[in-house]
Structure formats: C-alpha cells, structure tokens
Amino acid sequence: MAAERMSIVCFSGTVDKLLAVSTLATGGAAMGLEVELFLTFWGLEAFRKGAYQTNDRISADFEDHKVPMMQAMQEKKVPNWLDTLRGAAEIGDVKVYACGMTMDLFGWKLDDLEDLVSDVIGVASFVERAKEGKITLFI
C-alpha cells in the first residue's frame, strides 16, 4: 500500500504562517505520512538562503500582535520555523519543492534556496501527487 500523503501549498511568507506550516509538517512526518510542500510566491521567498534570519513579518491582520509574539517566542525559546521543518525532515519523509512559475518570475535558481528544497516542479506535478493524498492544505 502506498504511504498516506499530506500535501501543503505554502503561499505565505510570514513567520506565523510558516510556523503553522512547519508544525503541521512535523505532525504529519511524526505520524508516518509522506509530507510534500509546494512553495510558491511569498512562501518560496521565505526559503531563499538565509532569508529566515531576517524575516520578522507576520500576517498584516495581526500586525498589532507582532512585537508581543516575537518577544514571547524569544523568551520561551520557540525554535524558528526552518529548524522545526528540518527536524520534521530528520524524523520522517518530508519533501520540499519550489514552484517553477515563481522561480521564473523572480529569476531564482535552486541554488538560491535553502538546502531543504530538493527540486523545482510545476503545478501539474504537484496537483497530480496531491490528488492521491489524504490531506491537502493551502497556507
């Protein structure tokens, strides 16, 4: 039997949503699902090499919570979203793909992205794989 799959379209590049992506990916990996992330637009921008170190954006609707949220995360030593995702890839099957269209639009190459990103794929390949999955999320 094929493994169960969780597919996540990661569109957002704000820390709050990236933390949701990495936490859900960890849960999926821990519970034995194949986890596939498809990074597009701002979600892909967040995966440019080193970008996570200076990314302190949060969802605009909750901009007023930014300072207390960042302070709480620092005080309580919450691991950053990229380290959380790296942990998920260590314990389970996590694949991270970049959206070809976004790469073309911004003129990025695979080498410009964090090592976790293994390949550039098109939307059709992602959909083809996601349709076999148990869980599909757009974040």
Partner 1 sequence: MAVPEGISISKEIDARGSFCPGPLMELIRGVKSVQVGEVVSVLSSDPGSARDIPAWVQKAGHEFVGTFQEEGYTRFVVRKTR
Binding site for partner 1 (CB under 8 A): 23, 26-27, 30-32, 76-79, 84, 87, 90-91
* 78 or 139: CB nearest partner 1: 78
Give the contacts of 33 (CB within 8 A, at least 6 positions apart): 3, 4, 5, 6, 92, 93, 134, 135
Cβ-contact 96, 116 below 8 angstroms = yes
Q: 23 near 51, Cβ under 8 Å?
A: no
Instruction: Find the shortest distance in angstroms from Cβ 118 to partner 1.
Output: 21
Strands (E), 11-64: 34-39
- Shortest approach of partner 1 to residue 6 CB, angstroms? 14
Smaller CB separation from partner 1, 90 or 111: 90
Give 26 or 40: the residue with its C-beta nearer to partner 1. 26
